[in-house]
Amino acid sequence: MLILAALVALHLPAVSPTAPNRQPQLAAAGGTVALVFGSGEGIWLARSLDNGRSFGAPSKVADLPKMLLGRHRGPRVAISGNAIVVSAIASDPGDLLVWRSTDSGRTWSMPTTINDTPKAAREGLHAMVGDAEGHVAAAWLDDRGVKGKRLYGAFSDDAGRTWTRNVLLYESPDGTICECCHPSLAAMGHGEFAVMWRNALGGSRDVYTLRLRDGRAVGAAVKQGEGTWKLDACPMDGGGVAVRDGQIGSAWRREHDIFLVTPGKPEVKIGSGQDVALGTNSQGFYAAWSTPSGIALYAPGTSNTSHLSSGGAFPVMVALPDGMLVAWEESGAIATARL
């Protein structure tokens, strides 16, 4: 796997001479990979029809004035049923918007507002994911009518065409979850999802997961890992969640280190850095994260990490039928690499 990680990365050049490509996100289904990113106030999408080996030229989904972009803020993408769904948040008015395409990204619907209380999503931190059966979930940091942040969600059973009323997924008994760490979502199939967020509980900033079924939270929130991070501040770093064989795995940052928890096993330190992404396929769990010397990779069956790039930041990843695909920011462009 270390040899595969050394493959030359592809780059999507900057779409604007004045604004870099930022905050890539990935979705994959049926041989198609959708890569969305922001540039200035534009939302852009590039498609691959060969499982990430090559990408077509990016096309614009929409312009979104005052779009929140950077530090895990930016557009998200899901492929669900026959639709590509893209979401993003602007600082004014602070609403979570969704665009939908049923012709492979050639045309897009007018935006739909997901939050049913105006301006409730103005923190700009959200996640979205879909499954092959037309189920889509969105989760975001919400501050409607209260001091502090709570985790809210909304769900669609028709590939993003319509959405449920908003659902309170979690609120901390201490008054707020971590105020500026992004949530993560993973599809479990048949309309079930796993959500992860960083909590603020008992003076610690640890990450928790929760299972979602039928448009609501089921069971109790589960703290990830055995250790704790005593911190009276927000690290702006939420981690990643993935599901394999119906079981949840997670990766996150604690202080300066990256930890991984796989089903039935204790936490393992896999390196140092920040902004970790997690993915899984039949081989196991993969993680990629930012370090001062570039993008680091952890692959199943290895005891040492490798490097995907000597530069770049904010990696994301998605499972493919024949491997994994990683994307990240680098020198104003978006870089991708197949594993």
> What is the distance between the alpha carbons of residues 79 and 136, in angstroms, rounded to a whole number?
9
Number of structural domains found in the chain: 1
**117-172: pLDDT as tens digits:** 999 999 999 999 999 999 999 999 999 988 999 999 999 999 999 999 999 999 99
Phi, psi of 5, deg, nearest 5? -65, -20
CA distance 295 to 104: 30
> pLDDT for 278-324, tens place per residue?
999 999 999 999 999 999 999 998 878 999 999 899 999 999 998 99
**Residue with more model confidence, 305 or 85:** 85
The CATH number that applies at residue 137 is 2.120.10.10
Greatest Cα pair distance, the chain, in angstroms, is 52
- Rounded to two decimals, the pTM is 0.96
Residue 2 has pLDDT above 70, yes or no: no
Full residue range of the structural domain in which residue 123 is found: 2-338
Q: Which pLDDT tens digit goes with each residue over 192-234? A: 999 999 999 999 999 999 999 999 999 999 999 999 999 999 9
Checking if the pLDDT of 10 tops 90, the result is no
b/e sequence 28-43, b meaning 16+ C-beta within 10 Å = bbeebbbbbbbbbebb
| Region 107-125 average pLDDT | 98
